[in-house]
Amino acid sequence: MEENNKKWVDFNIDLAQNDQNADTINELIEEVSSVNIACGVHSGNPLSMKQAVENCKFKSKVLGALIGFNESVNDPAALSSEEIEAVVLYQLGAISAFAKAYSLNIEHVRPHGLMYELLNTNKEFALNFANSVKKFNRWFVLYGPDSEVFNQAAQETGMNIAKEFIVENVDSVSALKELIESNKMPDTIHFHTAAENVKSLMESVKEFANARPVNFNNVVSSGWVD
């Protein structure tokens, strides 16, 4: 496809995950417009968080928090609103500290694993999640599924969202192309870095789309970070 006819959309990957291949990640960072950094609970650790922020500082990448549950949490759906808030704020505070140290801002939040699934299906959890993020920074953009539950939670809490399409295999690339050609653009494309062929999948998407961040004009740092 000619360059002028390509669509512009956010290209996004996760960083600081324990099982990632460093060489592959370093190549992918050059191609994406935004990243989500694991915050040390479901994956990652203080050093990997620091290194991820540092690695992106001079590459003009939009930084986001990748937050999840510790594996010791047996039934996340049973967590109280207070427990959900604690899990969310703890991780946002940690990654925002590293961003502040490098004169950067965290601008969005992406849930991981079971947290992502609950945002897709559990209205009560989705509301608690969105309100917890809002308490930290009402201007953060929530990355998540294009689902009725997630959309309603965002609308009721007044939070901005970026509806995500996940690329993890050849079939998903084809589905994405059909979606874009029918003018049903996602806000962000998330490339699953665990896929062995993730680099070739990204190259295939680049045949009909270019990377450009979601619009974050209204983002401000949260009070304690100022």
pTM assigned to the model: 0.90
DSSP 137-175: -TTPEEEEE--HHHHHHHHHHT-EEEEEEEE-SHHHHHH
Spatial separation of the C-alpha atoms in residues 135 and 92, rounded to whole Å: 11
CB 60 within 8 A of CB 213: no
pLDDT confidence of 2, banded at 50, 70, 90?
Answer: low
Give domain 8-69+76-211's CATH superfamily. Glycoside hydrolase/deacetylase (3.20.20.370)
Domain boundaries, the chain: 8-69+76-211
Q: Is 90 exceeded by the pLDDT of residue 221?
A: no
Pairing mode, strands 188-191 and 160-167: parallel
> C-alpha dihedral over 82, 87, 90, 92, to 10 degrees?
-110
In this prediction, residue 135 carries a pLDDT of 98
3-state helix vs strand vs coil in the chain, percent to 5? 45, 20, 35
For 97-122, the pLDDT digits (tens) are 999 999 999 999 999 999 999 999 99
What 8-state DSSP symbol labels residue 8? E
Enter the tokens of residue 151: 């959309």
Closest CA to 77 of 117, 135, 111, 130: 117
CB 84 within 8 A of CB 125: yes
Q: How many Cβ atoms from other residues are within 10 Å of residue 1's Cβ?
A: 11
Could you give the 3-state DSSP secondary structure of residue 161? strand
For 52-72, the pLDDT digits (tens) are 999 998 888 999 999 999 988
Q: What is the mean pLDDT of residues 76-91?
A: 96
CB 16 within 8 A of CB 53: no
Pairing mode, strands 7-15 and 106-111: unpaired
